[in-house]
Amino acid sequence: MIQVLITEPEPGTTEGIRHVLLDADELDIVGFAQDGLEAAQMAIQTQPDVLIAHADLPAVNGYDVCKLVSLAAPKVACLLLVDDDMPDTTARAMQAGARAILSPDFTSQKLLDTITDCAQVKEIAASKEYQIVTDPEQMPITIGLISAKDGVGKTTLATNLGILFAQRFPDQVVLMDMYAQLGDVSVSLNLKPRGSLVDLATYADELDHDLVEGALATHKSTMRVLAGSTMPQPVPLDAISVPYIASLLGTLRRNYRFVFCDLPPVLWSGSLYILSRCQHLIVVANLFELTTIRDTANLVRMIVDGGHVTRKAIKLVVNRASPKDRFSVGDLQETVGIPVSFQIPNDIEAAVTAANKGEAFVLTQPKAPLSRSLGELADLLLQATEPMEQSDTDTPDWKAA
């Protein structure tokens, strides 16, 4: 049944429409509004499938009714009755958000067909695709980790954060080692790679779900891992093309809700592509030496000015923070020009014990300061991922300076 709300400024003015609708079994008149304001109010409050409104209405004109209703009740289709069908009338109606227009002297059949067309939005709302695109739990999130230099803790953070996410979202997390030359994600997790970023590049043109799945190793936390390389010799980066990376990331994003990427400090076309697709880009820095701080500032400038990442996606994270650091969080913020989002303590005990065992400290030492800190970072990333938080206000409670 298609529910229709009619605007009738004077009693009896829509007599013709009323009769056509009464005779049609699949249509149900759910009400009459007197003027434009009432039409918008009733449409928004009662959510009919179709609102029929004249362009020329008292109080609020029909175009403005369409604007109000399409903004506040997008599932209500507005059918605008106009005085002519000149091209600029159509354009104006579309801009106002009308789903269809009818010019004067329409036939009964034309009216019925137009109402039925308008109501097709109901079928879209019932489709599988609609469920997927509107469900926040199905929104794929890519989280990249990058730094100006190696050795600041990217792999440590990527592996342990990935595992924390996998504990909360079993089988929904994959970690991709983007080091095509010397990846060490697999080594640090003591995993035997089944395939790698480099191996899969050979099949770039025929990449599909099965091929990609076949290359992933599974960590005991359920996190999947794609190794960087299994080749004994270094592979030139241009063997990893952008179309291949795009197809690989697309396949992973369809199969996994969270894709973590451990990115090398070298900016090449493939890593720039990944950067541009990250909802969160964790830029990891230490406060040990001025060169690292300056290089971090240069890195951020290059990727932001190059239009690869938005400032909002960047989460500047200090790793191994300690009171003994030569530089302060303030120094880093000032040089880089963005606030520090989070600080992770220097916890050699947890990091080294875990690294030597090929174990993740978030699993073996969940209470260690380092593990707790990563738990907080995971919470913040998840909060910042919620649809509400995507608006202008960046997450206020990031642990800043």
Ligand X SMILES: Nc1ncnc2c1ncn2[C@@H]1O[C@H](COP(=O)(O)OP(=O)(O)O)[C@@H](O)[C@H]1O
Nearer to ligand X, 213 or 376 (CB): 376
The H-or-E segment that residue 69 falls in is helix 62-72
Interaction between residue 188 and Mg ion (CB under 5 A): no
Nearer to Mg ion, 142 or 155 (CB): 155
Within 13 Å of residue 208, how many CA atoms lie on the same side as its CB?
Answer: 2
Partner from Mg ion, ligand X, none contacting 36, C-beta within 5 to 8 A by type: none
Partner from Mg ion, ligand X, none contacting 319, C-beta within 5 to 8 A by type: ligand X
**Residue 368 CB neighbour total at 10 angstroms:** 19
Burial of 187: CB neighbours in 10 Å, binned 0-12, 13-18, 19+: middle
Shortest separation between residue 384's beta carbon and ligand X, angstroms: 21
Partner from Mg ion, ligand X, none contacting 152, C-beta within 5 to 8 A by type: ligand X
- The residue of the chain with the least Cβ separation from Mg ion equals 155
Q: How many degrees, rounded to 5, is the angle at CA 350 between CA 344 and CA 355?
A: 105
DSSP code at position 138: G
3-state SS, residue 299: helix
Handedness of CA 268, 269, 272, 273 (dihedral sign): negative
The pair of three-digit structure tokens given for residue 301, joined into one six-digit string: 């400038």
**DSSP string across 213-274:** HHH-EE-TTS-EEEBS---SS---GGGS-HHHHHHHHHHHHHH-SEEEEE--SS--HHHHHH
Q: How many degrees, rounded to 5, is the angle at CA 365 between CA 364 and CA 366?
A: 105
Contact pick of 3, 7, 155, 346 for Mg ion (by CB under 5 A): 155
Q: Which residue stretch of 30-38, 56-64, 119-127, 155-163 sits at the interface with Mg ion (rule: CB under 5 A)?
A: 155-163
Task: Match 């642990």 to its residue by tokens.
Answer: 399
Nearer to ligand X, 95 or 364 (CB): 364
Q: Are 111 and 16 in contact (CB under 8 A)?
A: no
Shortest separation between residue 159's beta carbon and ligand X, angstroms: 8
Q: Are 285 and 308 in contact (CB under 8 A)?
A: no
Nearer to ligand X, 154 or 224 (CB): 154
DSSP code at position 49: S
Shortest separation between residue 184's beta carbon and ligand X, angstroms: 7
The backbone region for 380, taken as left when phi is positive above 0, alpha when psi lies in -120 to 50, beta otherwise, is alpha
Residue 81, strand partner residues: 54, 102
Nearer to Mg ion, 43 or 189 (CB): 189
Shortest separation between residue 360's beta carbon and ligand X, angstroms: 11
Shortest separation between residue 154's beta carbon and ligand X, angstroms: 3
Instruction: Give residues with Cβ within 8 angstroms of 387, minimum separation 6.
Output: 136, 139
Shortest separation between residue 317's beta carbon and ligand X, angstroms: 10
Partner from Mg ion, ligand X, none contacting 348, C-beta within 5 to 8 A by type: ligand X
Nearer to ligand X, 38 or 347 (CB): 347
Nearer to ligand X, 74 or 358 (CB): 358
Partner from Mg ion, ligand X, none contacting 219, C-beta within 5 to 8 A by type: none
Shortest separation between residue 179's beta carbon and Mg ion, angstroms: 7
Shortest separation between residue 188's beta carbon and Mg ion, angstroms: 8
Shortest separation between residue 340's beta carbon and ligand X, angstroms: 15
Please, what's the b/e burial string for 198-233 (b: 16 or more CB within 10 A of its CB; e: otherwise)? bbbbeebeebeeeebeebbbebebebbbbbbbbeee
Partner from Mg ion, ligand X, none contacting 302, C-beta within 5 to 8 A by type: none
Nearer to Mg ion, 154 or 224 (CB): 154
Nearer to Mg ion, 154 or 219 (CB): 154
Nearer to Mg ion, 155 or 385 (CB): 155
Q: Which residue stretch of 149-157, 210-218, 226-234, 347-355 sits at the interface with Mg ion (rule: CB under 5 A)?
A: 149-157
Partner from Mg ion, ligand X, none contacting 204, C-beta within 5 to 8 A by type: none
Shortest separation between residue 187's beta carbon and Mg ion, angstroms: 10
Binding site for ligand X (CB under 6 A): 147, 150-156, 319-320, 344, 346-348, 351-352, 355, 370
What Å distances lie between residue 193 and 9, 215, 241, 281, CA to CA? 72, 7, 21, 25
Interaction between residue 319 and Mg ion (CB under 5 A): no
Q: Give me the residues that bind Mg ion (CB under 5 A), please.
A: 154-155
